[in-house]
Amino acid sequence: MTPSFTNTTNYHLKPRGHIYRRGLIMFLRKYRVDVNDVVMEVPYPTFIDTGGVMYQTRPIVPESDGGSIPPAFRWIAGDEDAFPLSYTFHDDGVRNGGLYRVIMGRRIFVPMPRSEVDDLLSRMLPAEGCKRYQAKKIVLGARIGTLFAFDDRKDQTEN
């Protein structure tokens, strides 16, 4: 079974403002990231993985930053808004420590380590139309970026 998304239009973005993040290593200046609350509508968008395993996010994913790629690295990964569902699922999985699985029609929260959420992102991106070589670059960036973006919240200030 090929991984795919269902109910892909059943969400909307609610602008929340922006935050500032520090760049990596030699790009230490801060950069602005727009954040949105992503509100999922019933029936929820669902990612169907190989083997028929179905994943969903929380009904509201607060402060999703899309593919918050530092400006200096955007040439590697491309448009940060090109794969909104993949990025939202990844943000929720990393922040929440897991995602919901649909098992026999019920939503059950399943804790997932960060590496498993990153692996799931690598399967979600092609399902949303991303080329495989580009997906590999995005996942590598996500693995590096989430070490800084979500663990060190004191670097962020809202305006």
| pTM for the structure as a whole | 0.81
Terminal Cα distance for the chain, rounded:
45
Q: Is residue 40 a contact partner of residue 80, using CB atoms and an 8 Å limit?
A: no
**Cis peptide bond upstream of 70, omega within 30:** no
Taking only the tens of pLDDT, the chain with its 159 residues reads 789 999 988 888 888 877 766 655 545 566 677 788 889 988 999 999 999 999 999 998 887 776 666 656 666 666 667 888 998 998 899 888 999 999 998 999 999 998 899 899 999 999 999 888 888 888 887 777 666 655 433 333 444
**Cis peptide bond upstream of 111, omega within 30:** no
